């Protein structure tokens, strides 16, 4: 994670593990396994 929005940590399952410079999957474990899908969306090859 490069940067965060103010107050975004309140949505994290583990707020203490959420923040700039940390692996977003630590705060949002539901993202584990979605890496390829998310990369395709970010690269414009997929949609939400």
Work out how many domains the chain is built from and give that number: 1
Does any domain span residue 17? yes
Answer for the pair 34, 27: CB distance below 8 angstroms, yes or no.
no
What's the whole-model pTM score? 0.62
Containing structural domain, residue 16: 8-42
Q: What is the pLDDT of residue 1?
A: 79
Does any domain span residue 15? yes
Q: What is the pLDDT of residue 34?
A: 92
| Model confidence pLDDT, tens digit, residues 7-41 | 888 999 988 888 889 998 988 899 899 989 888 98
Distance, in Å, from the CA atom of 13 to the CA atom of 38, rounded to the nearest integer, reads: 19
Q: What is the pLDDT of residue 48?
A: 59
Radius of gyration in angstroms for the set of CA atoms belonging to the chain, rounded to a whole number: 12
Residue 46 has pLDDT above 70, yes or no: no
Distance, in Å, from the CA atom of 40 to the CA atom of 12, rounded to the nearest integer, reads: 23
């Amino acid at each position: 994670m490069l940067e965060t929005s103010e107050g975004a940590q309140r949505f994290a399952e583990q707020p203490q593990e959420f923040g700039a410079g940390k692996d977003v999957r630590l705060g949002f474990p539901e993202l584990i396994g979605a890496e390829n899908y998310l990369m395709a969306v970010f690269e414009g090859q997929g949609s939400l």
